[in-house]
Amino acid sequence: MKLQYLIIMLASTFLLGNTRSAAQLTNTLPKNEFGLTIIDNGIDFGASTAQDSLKQMVAIDNYIVHLATDFVYATTKNFTHQKLYSKPKAYLRLAAAKALLAVANYLEIRGLGILIYDAYRPYSVTKTMWQIVPDDRYAANPAKGSGHNRGIAVDLTLYDLQTGLPLPMPTAFDDFTEKAHHNYMQLDSVVLTNRQLLRTAMEQQGFKALDTEWWHYYLPNATYFELLDIDFKQMKRLAK
């Protein structure tokens, strides 16, 4: 009995120690030049997700059957004219992935699917974008970090499940003009309807719209999710 009691006590101590380590993670990790904590390795990521399973990163195509992707930042055909990352995959935190699944289900009965331009994005990519376009209307300031770096923001549009073609929207992706703003109304009625349908579907599941980009949505309370700088190769091993 004494041995069993000792084993139980040791196990309890180990578990409590791990819980404390996870809860204190953001206070113990080093901070970058902006005073931000950036998780860039699997060990610290594991300690973070141990706090809350909704922080786990997941591959969205494991959740959404008709998911389509067009990763423009993996090409030179984007506003930076640079290839910002390679071999990407659409990842989000479990909380965001579940919400997006509900969006997809809502759209599917209307004959529509989701096409993703960008989801999780390593923090180092955000720094590169800011160097090229230092305007927080269109690029995230690395002094704050991006919802993409936290895995709770997604850039997307709608496409027709039968034709596979994207629906007409106000602009192309990453168009930095007033036409991309949600309050821009000088558009064809079909385009206005499509933009509103996307917004309605996303907001019904708790996503928030970015005023200046019709394609960008994010979950509120973003700072609950730590900033990540884990490349896609490593994320493939860490995500569910």
The pLDDT score that the predictor gives to residue 24 is 57
Please give the structure tokens belonging to residue 165. 């073609």
Per-domain residue ranges for the chain? 31-238
Among 232, 220, 195, 3, smallest CA distance to 118 is for 232
Is it the case that residue 16 has pLDDT exceeding 70? no
148 is in an annotated binding site: yes
Q: Which residues of 223-233 are buried (b: 16+ CB within 10 A; e: fewer)?
A: eebbbbbbbbe
Is it the case that residue 72 has pLDDT exceeding 80? yes
Lowest mean pLDDT among 3-7, 170-174, 214-218: 3-7
Strand ranges of the sheet holding 208-210, from the earlier edge strand across to the other edge = 68-69, 112-118, 153-160, 213-218, 208-210
Kindly report the average pLDDT of the chain as a whole number: 89
Amino acid identity, position 228: L
Give the SS3 label for residue 36: coil
Place of tokens 């949600």: 182
Among 99, 43, 69, 50, smallest CA distance to 237 is for 43
Percentage above 70 pLDDT, the chain: 89
What is the mean predicted confidence (pLDDT) over 211-217?
A: 96
**Residues facing residue 158 across a β-bridge:** 114
d(CA 50, CA 56): 9
Is it the case that residue 99 has pLDDT exceeding 80? yes
**Residues facing residue 47 across a β-bridge:** none
d(CA 151, CA 143): 17
For the annotated catalytic residues, the residue numbers are: 213
Please give the structure tokens belonging to residue 176. 């930095």
27 confidence band (pLDDT: 50, 70, 90): low
Task: Kindly report, residue by residue over 34-53, the tens digit of the pLDDT.
Answer: 999 999 999 999 999 998 99
Q: What number does CATH give the domain 31-238?
A: 3.30.1380.10
Lowest mean pLDDT among 46-50, 115-119, 133-137, 198-202: 133-137
Among 43, 75, 164, smallest CA distance to 115 is for 164
Q: What is the DSSP letter of 55?
A: G
Lowest mean pLDDT among 14-18, 19-23, 96-100: 14-18
Among 195, 186, 239, smallest CA distance to 216 is for 195
216 is in an annotated binding site: yes
- Is the separation of the CB atoms in 178 and 184 below 8 Å? yes
- Is the separation of the CB atoms in 208 and 153 below 8 Å? no
155 is in an annotated binding site: yes
